[in-house]
Structure 1
Amino acid sequence: MKAVLKDNVIEIYDACLVKDAIKAIPGRRWDPKKKVWTIPMTIEAVEQLKYIPGKIEPIILERYRELKRIQDKTIEEKYAEQVEPIEPMPLKPHIKPYQHQIKIYNLGLINPSFAILAEMGTGKSLTAVSIAARRWQRGEVKKLLVVAPTSVLPVWPREFEACTVPYVCAVLEGSMQERRKTLQQLNSIKDKLLVAVINYEATWRILDDLLAWKPNMVIADESQRIKNHSAKQSKALHKLGKVAKYKLILTGTPVQNQPLDFFSQYKFLDETIFGTSFYAFRNRYAVMGGYGGKQVVGYQNLDELIRKAHSIAFRVTKEEALDLPEQIDQYQYCELEPEAARLYNEIKKQSYAELENEQEITVRNVLTRLLRLQQITGGFVNTDAGIQQHVSSAKLNLLKEVVADIIDAGKKVVIFARFLPEIKAILKILEDMRLEYSYITGEVPNEQRGEQVRAFQEDPNRKVFVAQIQTAGLGITLHAADTAIFYSVDFNYANYSQARARIHRIGQKNNCTYIHLIAKNTVDEHVLKALQRKEDIAKMVVDNWRMYFG
């Protein structure tokens, strides 16, 4: 027997006499074209290989010792009670990372490929930025590709504002031609960390360009998006994973429906963990049965699966991250469809012109026009004839995606919205998702509201509470959830603050997360900024109306 290393795979020649011993090695495969056995370059595989008579190429043993060193350091770091950065974190001085972020940072530097399995609100994006920036300082990474859901693309440039290394962060948006042009323009920039951010749906469409760009590092944000191993975007990430030496996956819900969800994410991250064949992986960890023996009827060897997955991963929940602040704000973005954007801009220009010609600007005039713009971002508008018109599904589609992630994480959620048409559309989405819900609007009689709250608080199957912000933002307790989504808000800071307090109150045991859904480049952004400054918009719009309509 002779064992040699080729492309991180061990090939075994002249193995007729030790065939049975090789068959006992996990992940072994027979290559009929080369007529050789192949086994993954893993600690477990080499340890078994060492006991088989024959010649092992020295580089295999060197690589084995390096993997053992990484494994030992990883275990030591994981179980340390107090940690300090193994190398300085390239973050601005006013940013103080939490203990779990420092631990993930250290683990991400120790392991070339690593899974950050952290719940939303625990700061996994900032930690990933720190790892990438430090690898740039080391000279390991010049080009970083971040692949993320469309809704969080605008978040990544903001995350990079916290780092201290020189960088350029470009979001690849627009037509495929425009995305390619942006990617090419990055190549002309020297002596900076080059960051390209793209959504999953576009990766396979410009895959050749991304491969030619040759990123040194790839981050798959919300990596559960590639859990289907046969989907085009998953296959694109698998190919990108072969190009990049350094990889991270970020997700709070690595397993959404079944343990088999691990396979595709880890095929991108590190093929040596679960191999390259989904069917071999399924046969190892699933029990097949049903019609034709092609249905998963159970699972097996799950302890092994979890051990392998966590060998290059760190899991943290909000409950475990005890040093987190009590309240965490997050932002997810959508983009209005072209026709909805045209209508929005038309009404904005019209409002600006009308206000310019007003002899006296009044609060009522400004708020009436702002309200109409806000209705469009939520998806609905009233025509001049008083007819309600559905003009956009962008934010509704984003809401469906966010709710699915929260429910898959085993949590309940409260959704706040301002307008009745929005709430009716939200309830329809929940029904289509087959989710049980409670709701309170101005149309729900007072005597029925207590039962709606009780059912949400006590019934484990009642996963969602939908609340009209003006009606249900005061006086009720909804702390069965630790996450709230603001689909839309009104212009009153007191209402917004009271809505937040529905989940953040006595009896709440967890940190609270507030997710704000925002239509890009619209009044949503201005209104939210004002509320974050604790300003009632009604008190300031007369002097600042041009900011909203300009």
Structure 2
Amino acid sequence: MCGRRTLVKKGVSTESDRVSPFFFSFPLLQPPLAVSIVGRGRKMVRRERRSDEDEMDIDEIVPDDQVDEPEVESEVEAEYEGEEEEEEEEEDVEKEEWAETKRRKREARTVQSPAEWRERVLGSSLPDISIEFEHDVKHSLYPHQKEGVAWLFSLWSMGRRGGILADEMGLGKTIQSLSFLSAIAKAGKAGAFPSIVICPLTLVDNWQAEAARFLPNLKVKLYRGGKEEKQAVREEVFESVKATPAGQLDPAYPFDIIVTSYELAVKDIDFFSRFSFRCAILDEAQRVKNTASVTFLTLHNLIRRSFSLLLTGTPIQNTVDEFWSLLHFVDDALFPPLSSFDADTPSVPASSLLTSEVMEHIQRSVMMRRTKKGAMKSLPPKLEVVMRCPLKAGQRKLYIDILSKNKGDVLKGANISNTLVQLRKCCNHPYLFDGVEPEPFCEGDHLFEASAKSDALVRLLSVLLPARHRVLLFSTMTQSLDIIQDILEYKGISYVRLDGSVRGDDRGSVVRAFDEDSASVFLLSTRAGGLGLNLVSADTVIFFDSDWNPQVDLQAEERAYRIGQKKPVLVIRLCAKYTVDEAILQRAVRKLSLAETVIGTGQPTSTSAQASAGEEGEGEGTSIRSMLSFGLSTVVRQAEERGEGEESSEEERGWEGG
């Protein structure tokens, strides 16, 4: 019997979504995506998704810094006659002012030498982590959390512009942030509020829940949802400000903290730019790792705040320049644009500025980072294992066919991304391709025997589940989760599932169902399930495939390995042997090594920095082609030895050196 699935169809509503202006001259809102969820069988879902396949999969294989961010539209059709022209004039003035500001900054750019800058950075004062502070958090802080709050409180007391709390995932950055806000609220006249928290959409509810748990008296307002929900927040703010007593300098806001997503913060910046926030907290701050992105420029330039607190467990994901972007966001005076260091070139590489001496100072004056190994010695151990699974016969033939069909384009540097997606799908399961699975659909051992990784997964679960282990199973492809779901149903294994189609309001109920032991396996898409979940009831994490960005996988495994975990944690990565899967894992090791070198020990070596920059610079470069050809000669030889196909031609063998 075929399982049931959910299909999400996206389209843009044509309804004008204009909000009447009042007091703040509120912006015009873009219409939300119209979403409909329809139950379908897996085969029907897979066929209907085919037209959107490349669009869906491209984010899985292209580095984050190569994906264009959606631009913020400046105009939406006005609903009321006579106001459109006035609004357009206001927007034109704003654009002209922005352009003029950028021009003045370019003309006033002062060129400084790296030596002068280094002297200035090393001369900056260090925070006092022994400083005393008071807070109202209803929870005992761990020693490393007390130290983190003291460090932030000292930065605030010194009049610094912000800091980066870069603790490893699972060490409690949220509670440290709330304790910091509580501490500065009790310390002086300026107070801590109003403050703003900007985070991924999936974490909005988590911030509200954590605030209610640790600071129950804190007034938290969520800014999210559709037109009516956001309009209600705006009207509440307006009425509260209008009721501010005469003579009171600060407006009376109906909240202490307002929480919103990165997307809405950018889209509705005309609303948020009206506030003067005491503190702006950016959770998962790697979202502002690119100084040229719309997100960075909008939030950095238009969110008015006294203090910036950036939270991230992954301050470096791809290159050292990304880390510089975070430093620049926090303090653009101390960490100016890289272009300000050389008048003759567009910019100097951040790796040449961040020497070991400078990094050591930065990690005390601007950034604080602790690891579980150093901060939480009571945490149980974590064991990581890579299972290299030889391709099944059908997978080998399909793998070779994909490369042969696309060889000409790839060698010319074209169509590489699509080819890489197809190879990754082949490594996961051949049934992800039309016409491979027997028709009509029926359950049976073929569901897992056709794929090396699915076969290995079934054997793993047959050992883990009887021993009462509880499993988080991640995949970057929801279509792979569809097939795994069919396998679990066929084998009678209880499960729950969370992917991007699950609404934020429903995420909590899915997590509770797993925590209450109603399921043994939790199926999660890596991107949707890798943030904001506390799943310490699981002690085993299995990656069916690896994300292009290794930091995303790290965030996912930290759902189980974090404060509160009482059992040893086993992390298993399934990898198709001698394929692009292995190449991606090797690339991940190099990227993680770069981050550890910079953040852990100081200066990156020139070799590692150049290698990283080269890999991230061109999605169609030599490094990607070498990933495509990784292990091909072995795969072809195995196919020939088993008599699974005709011998390859000399031209096909030439792939390995291409």
| TM-score between both structures, scaled by the size of structure 2 | 0.42
Higher relative contact order (CA 8 A, sep 6+): 2
Bigger proportion of residues as strand: 1
| TM-score between both structures, scaled by the size of structure 1 | 0.49
